Amino acid sequence: MPWLWTFYDCPDLNIPNTNNGLEGHFTDLKTKLRYHNGLSKNNRKLFIDEYFRNSFEKYRE
């Protein structure tokens, strides 16, 4: 509970007050995984790792 209002208490962090952006990423990931439904468990993990690595690359700078 102590982190619930962080977006409000620290406006300089530019934290969104909803999780819509995150939900959009998960929806896109699930769609892509449906297209590649024959992946082994190990390749599925690699696919997910690479997806997030590419999706959030712009935030690393």
pLDDT in tens, 9-25: 989 988 888 889 889 99
Rg (CA), the chain: 15
pLDDT in tens, 29-58: 999 999 999 999 999 999 999 999 988 777
CA distance 39 to 41: 6
Q: Which of 45, 47, 52 is nearest to 22 (CA)?
A: 52
Q: Is the dihedral of CA 25, 41, 57, 10 positive or negative?
A: positive
The pair of structure tokens assigned to 60 is: 């690393």
